[in-house]
Amino acid sequence: MTHWLSAFLIAPLIACVSASAQPLTPIPVKHITAPPSDISAGLVKLPDPSSIPVTSHSALLPVHMEHIDGRWAWSTTLDVQQRGARIALLSAQPESWSTTLLPNNQARIPSIETGTDSLAWVAPDREFKHLSISENQEGEWTLTLNADHDAPGFVLIDSGPKSTLSTHVNTLSTLQSLPITLHSSLDAGSRITSLAAEITSPSGLVSSERAQHGTTSITFIPEEVGSYSIRVTAHGVSANGSDILLTTQHLIDAAPQAPLLKQAAVQSSDAQIVFTFDPDDSQRRTILAAEVWGQIDGQPTAVAWISNIVGQSRTLTLDTRWIAASGVDPSTLELREIRLHDIDSMVPLEIIDRMQVPLTGMPLPQAPSKITQDMLTGKQGSLVPAEITPQITQSAGPGHRLMLVHGYCTDAVPFTVSHFSGDLALFEDFEQSRSHDAFALELLSQSSPMKSFGVVAHSQGGMAALHLRTFYWSGLDWARGNRLIQTVGAPYQGTSLAGNAAVLGDIFGFGCGTNDNMTYSGSANWLSLIPTWARDDVYYYTTSFEDGFFFDYCNIVTDLLLSDPDDGVIERSAGQLSGAHNMGHLEGWCHSDGMRDPGQCTDQNRNSIMNQEARR
């Protein structure tokens, strides 16, 4: 029996197995088109960066201990308001810190609750001490950490007046050697009095930047390629005059610039128009996209949005039926918002506002009576070389299957497998941090024995499946049944933990590694390349903690970093996918096992429904 992809994937890989470099294998990619309605709805556009800030209601303070009287110590003062305060002690060696937390007014007996919890997603296998100052103990408090050796770490504090710090980048096109500016603001009524940033380069160089007096922006130039972790610290004053100290944590990828696209050459036939840009001789894989516009009686009219993965040859293809359907004059054709994205970080490498691409004497087909599938995905697509490793797991059998897909940096299948029936496949790529694209290629590889498959995915697995469905031909395209991709707890719009993980990586190690695709900006870059027809194949569920009287969190540490409601890793708001099927939000379930409520992938009721409805 022939296996999926075997004809052009597996054999070359086996032949190259002894090579040290990952072999390049031709992968079948789609020629993606979205109708004009996707353009007008803003689904295939980059958002304004100010609309996707990183927000925070806490301060992540580094602990740099001083050697005093034979001991190491660090202390800070907390402004505790009526609502109380919460503190998490994040040390690589938690047992080395001894803690005192006392009100400066020693006249009263402090009421403090303590406990331990993991730091979900960032360091899920470690327990950290947390302290809560309960309500109605206003005043200055002092937190002191002592150790018998220098034990650095971070203290995460939510205290002071209720306030939120928002920080956004000035551009989503964050490129090496080009300045990046971070703009910060506090919510209405509060103002920033000073702003600073600690910037750690991909190679570990740490620099500090301060905003000029009277401004709330910090600019830096990323001289290196790769992921910068940045901690922005804002001091401010609330409307009632209370001091504010908040931080936001960021992960910003400085992508290497690509050769310029330049003016497209245009070739047309009865069936299609091909726009050819300057090649990229480095053969770097990128995603190219553009809006196609024309005119009807002088009025600009959107024809379609087109996109595909490219390699050395950088072309876009438009089915001429879209021109016929739009009714525009081909001699008025132009491309707008031409974008070239890095395939892994999703950073836009080049954006061209407009490019005239007129065509004259072009035969047009009859206007189609309806949009057909091949108008959206291309009839055949093309092959683009990519690095892909075949990992045919024992559980990945042939035929038509439902694949259960885990998420980022997971050490086990999160779903209760016994809740599913029929032919199953368990995706296994444990303890990895991959871009959505690399994750999707792993899915493609592990699904290679299958004629078709549907997906039930957790967390990043959902984005990887949607990425696969959008950009590549795979067994997903042949699955039958009701729901192609069902996801639970997938952060389609990102999670602030991605930035926090990057900053905290200094003390915990980076675990599975940082993940640019799951920041708010990385997610926005990616989502701007996902058309409605692909989103329509996604059925997603979100969950959050049971909002009880005593507890309102899944993970008490990440609760300091996320906006409620959340499942301990993703906020409900960031789990929404416009254009997809929202299957509901359920309280009482957290992102993974080990949190206050059960792991969302163990919900038998939901799992049974997903099993029943799944395409295979």
Partner 1 sequence: MSPTIAPLKAWPLALSMLASASAHAGDHCITPNVPIPDNSPTGITLPIEVSAAASEVVSSVDLQLLINHDWIGDLAITLESPAGTIITLLDRPGIPSNGFPGPFGCGGQDLNATFTDNTLIPAESLCSTTATPVIFGFVIPNMPMDSFTSESPDGQWLLRISDLSPYDSGSLIQACLQLTTNIECPADFTGDENLNFLDVSAFLSAFGNQETAADFTQDGNYNFLDVSAFLSAFGAGCP
| Binding to partner 1 in span 478-507, by CB under 8 A | 478
Nearer to partner 1, 118 or 382 (CB): 382
Report phi then psi at 465, rounded to 5.
-65, -40
Q: Return d(Cα 391, Cα 447) in angstroms, integer.
A: 9
Instruction: Decide: is 206 part of the binding site for partner 1 (CB under 8 A).
Output: no
Residue 373 sits in the site that holds partner 1 (CB under 8 A): yes
> Which distant-in-sequence residues (6+ apart) come within 8 Å of 160 by Cβ?
78, 79, 80, 81, 85, 238, 242, 243, 244, 245
Which of 608, 610, 611, 589 is closest to 600 using CA atoms? 589
The distance between the two most distant Cα atoms of the chain, rounded to a whole number of Å, is: 90
Closest CA to 498 of 286, 254, 253: 253
Q: Does 178 bind partner 1 (CB under 8 A)?
A: no
Min separation Cβ 198 and partner 1, Å: 47
11 in contact with partner 1 (CB under 8 A)? no
269 binds partner 1, rule: CB under 8 A: no
Torsion angle defined by CA atoms of residues 226, 433, 492 and 381, in that order, rounded to the nearest 10 degrees: 80
- The Cα–Cα gap between 579 and 598 comes to 29
Q: Is 47 in the site for partner 1 (CB under 8 A)?
A: no
| Comparison of 384 and 488: residue with beta carbon closer to partner 1 | 384
Task: Say which residue the tokens 């310029």 belong to.
Answer: 260
The distance of closest approach from Cβ of residue 7 to partner 1 in the complex, given in angstroms and rounded to an integer, is: 4
List 126, 162, 191, 379, residue binding partner 1 (CB under 8 A): 379
Whichever of 311 and 599 has its CB closer to partner 1, that residue is: 311
Work out which of 167, 435, 474, 521 binds partner 1, going by CB under 8 A.
Answer: 474
Residues 408-467 that bind partner 1 (CB under 8 A): 451-452
Choice between 373 and 482, CB closer to partner 1: 373
Q: How many residues of this chain bind partner 1 (CB under 8 A)? A: 32
Residue 374 or 411 with smaller CB distance to partner 1: 374
Using CB under 8 A, pick the residue from 400, 419, 458, 606 that binds partner 1. Answer: 400
Residue 342 CB, nearest approach to partner 1 (Å): 23
Among 142, 380, 391, 573, binds partner 1 (CB under 8 A): 380
Amino acid identity at 391: Q
423 versus 546: smaller Cβ distance to partner 1: 423
3-state secondary structure of 103: strand
CA distance 185 to 195: 10
Kindly give the pairing relationship between strand 66-68 and strand 71-80.
Answer: antiparallel
| Residue 306 CB-half CA count within 13 A | 27
Strands 165-169 and 98-103: unpaired
Please, what is the minimum distance in Å from the beta carbon of residue 312 to partner 1? 17
**Cα separation of 427 and 404, whole Å?**
6
Beta strands, E only, 357-445: 382-387, 399-405, 424-426
Out of 49, 53, 236, 381, the residue judged to bind partner 1 by CB under 8 A: 381
370 binds partner 1 per the rule CB under 8 A? no
Residues that bind partner 1 (CB under 8 A): 1-8, 26-29, 372-374, 377-383, 398-400, 451-452, 473-475, 477-478
